[in-house]
Amino acid sequence: MKQVSVTLSTYTADVSGVCSALYELGGMVVIHDPSGCNSTYNTHDEPRWYEMDSLVFISGLSQMDAIMGNDDKFIHDIVRAAKELQPRFIALVRTPIPLMTGTDFEGISRVIEKQTGIPVFYFPTSGMHTYVKGAGMAMETIARELVPAGGKSVKERKNKQENPLKINILGATPLDFSINSTLDSIKEFLSRHFEIISTFAMGSSIEDIQRAGEADINLVISSVGVLAAKALEERFHTPYVIGTPIIGFENVLAEKLIESAWTKKSQTAYFSVLQKAHKKDTANFTTMQNAEAVSNLKKIRSLTETIEKNKVSGNIYIIGESVISQSLKAALALRYGIEATVICPLETEPEYTEKDVLLLSSEEDIKKAITDADTVIADPIYKTICSEKVNFVAMPHEAYSGRIYRKEVCDFIH
């Protein structure tokens, strides 16, 4: 029964991930579904829905059209809307029903593109994967299809002082960073060292996105941005660094960005920090020392809302998205000497995942893994599977608990 969740939630699906990544870019996103996927997206997964206009539509697939394979209405409605609204592009998003009926999205895409003259992108989502896969596909498409060739390589500069290095921020959506001050804080920090060209894909115009090829280095702040980073590296030979600027780790990350910009070698920033931490002699690292260090986290109210005042042992677990969680682990190791174990329930890749990260997706497995935990840092919903003795540090995740804890979402930098 490992696929059954009794008290835990599920992460945002790939369908919403595509919509979230494309929301601000001036395209028209069409979810081919009777209705459910759109209401789930705008109600639970999209905090910008009532504050910012975007062309996100549902096709209203009927039972008869699905059974008979009638795609004419779908095509006609999209063509009519596109001619009226003139979007920059059209995105077709698959859901479980057209997946099961075998809808020919590639053929439909060609027909719509021919009739409208507008680029059409098809995303083979299924609703069975998480937002990481959906938003990742969308950002890769942005990098491949919406960024024209061009840009000046860092190697063409006369010297390092000529101008600030140019950077793209990849992997930003409200699903990981909500709509609080986190992304603004990340940009403010990076602007001290770099010239920010664009942010994929939140807070930047399509014109900014189109300049992405000018960057000297790309920063991947969540696993959602990895495919886009690889696409930009392939197209423009731009190296990338994986890591989230979190207080205590941000300066190391900045150093890695500058290093990669000049060596042209991509890297995962937190690996070096965590490998050094593993080599340290921790024999004399007592329970009291770790408890004292964890208590110091109370000073960072933006990162951790509350930690109970009782003594804590060294068994600390971080549950969440791979890049953010491992960056937080590195920040704790650097700033406080704290060792933690990361549990990642989402899709991830070995390139940016340490060997000791626990890849667990079922409630049963996660609950079993944290039986010896003294401190758990995770979305508040995970508190339901923690024992009473655990010091639970709330780090709300929009892609997991939706809008429930939105006002409590942490700012990673301040």
Q: Across the beta sheet with 267-268, what order do the strands follow?
A: 194-200, 165-170, 217-220, 240-242, 267-268
Tokens of 126: 């299924």
Residue 202: CB partners within 8 Å, gap ≥ 6?
23, 24, 172, 173, 174, 177, 183
Q: DSSP secondary structure string, 241-308?
A: EE----TTTHHHHHHHHHHHHHH---EEHHHHHHHHHHHS--TT--HHHHHHHHHGGGG-TTT-S---
Question: What is the reported pTM?
Answer: 0.89
Query: Phi and psi at residue 206, in whole multiples of 5°?
Result: -65, -30
Check residue 69 and give its pLDDT.
Answer: 79
Query: Phi and psi at residue 161, in whole multiples of 5°?
Result: -90, 0
**Residue 168, strand partner residues:** 198, 218
Q: DSSP secondary structure string, 385-404?
A: GS-TT-EEEE---HHHHTTT
What's the one-letter identity of residue 120?
V
Angle (CA) 72-76-78 rounded to 5° is: 120
Closest CA to 330 of 274, 266, 252, 389: 274
Residue ranges of the domains in the chain? 14-129, 154-271, 281-408
Number of Cβ atoms within 10 Å of the Cβ of 271: 18
Contact status, residue 360 vs residue 385, Cβ threshold 8 Å:
no
Q: What CA–CA distance (Å, rounded) separates 279 from 95?
A: 47
- Please check whether the domain covering 154-271 is classified as CATH 3.50.50.60: no
Angle (CA) 288-290-294 rounded to 5° is: 115
Tell me the three state secondary structure of residue 168: strand
CA distances to 24, 187, 197, 362 from 203, in Å: 8, 10, 11, 34
Say if residue 201 is preceded by a cis peptide, omega within 30 of 0: yes
CATH hierarchy code of domain 14-129: 3.40.50.1980
Number of Cβ atoms within 10 Å of the Cβ of 208: 16
Contact status, residue 378 vs residue 395, Cβ threshold 8 Å:
yes
Do the two domains 14-129 and 281-408 of this chain adopt the same fold? yes
Q: Which residues of the chain have pLDDT under 70?
A: 1-2, 36-38, 150-162, 276-314, 414
The size of the chain, in residues, is 414
Considering the segment(s) 281-408 as one domain, its CATH architecture is 3-Layer(aba) Sandwich (3.40)
Residue 43: CB partners within 8 Å, gap ≥ 6?
none
Query: Which residue reads 């593993």 in tokens?
Result: 278
Check residue 283 and give its pLDDT.
Answer: 38
Check residue 63 and give its pLDDT.
Answer: 84
